[in-house]
Structure 1
């Protein structure tokens, strides 16, 4: 986790996220890596350490996002803003595939660009979701949990 952000702010961000990556929705208790407190709008681009600019992120999503705030929508080739956990609703931009319930599909240019940039359907995540499904823990109920 970031060392600049005060501990109490980090704890707030973790609680607000329900201890799930706010991008791919992976539960942090099933992730072998330390979660990140991610700057939605990077410090290097003028973003602040305010809670409104912070999101809980798994290492995979954080590493693939880096300092990006937009990415190419693979369906149109047009740059689209990435999903913003504070202002966007997850269900407006993403859905679980009706084929397998483990793959994420993009419903909007923002959803498709975010899936491509952050690689929501990387093999390790698909395997994790399959195992969680066997345990009855996937897909998460995005309407009743702390997912916007």
Structure 2
């Protein structure tokens, strides 16, 4: 895990509890300093998910085999795409974690 600035420092964000969260390193690197991304369904820009102010289950769910995120809203879909949350490496890891009983995480 790595620390992610929800509002990037390069865009005026501060290093404070309210603006920092944990993210997997891969997702954090793909996010870079983005705060919005394109929703693949609507083609419109949508803000990225903010884990400090938004509820995970309103924007995301798990696929039936629990290896992939599914976006329920434009925020969820745009976040999944921008952070590449369903890249092949992490999907394979989730599959192994599910077999071991470590996944999906309790909500």
Q: TM-score, normalised by structure 2?
A: 0.97
Unaligned runs of 5+ in 1: 1-34, 143-148
Distance 2:66 2:6 in 1: 27
Q: Deviations over 1:11-50 (max 9, x none)?
A: xxxxxxxxxxxxxxxxxxxxxxxx2111000011110011
Partner residue, 1:27: none
Structure 2 unpaired stretches of 5+: none
The answer for the alignment partner of 2:50 in structure 1 is 84
Deviation at 1:96, TM superposition (A): 0.3
CA RMSD of aligned residues (A): 0.7
User: 1 or 2, which has the higher strand percentage?
Assistant: 2
1:137 aligns with 2:107: no
Equivalent residues in 2 for 1:95-110, closer than 5 Å: 95-98=61-64, 100-110=65-75
Cα deviation, residue 125, structure 1: 0.7
1:111 aligns with 2:73: no
Greater gyration radius: 1
Size of the aligned set, in residue pairs, is: 107
**What TM-score, normalized by structure 1, do the two folds share?**
0.71
Runs of 4+ in 1 over 3 A off after TM superposition: none
Q: 2:40 aligns with which of 54, 74, 83?
A: 74
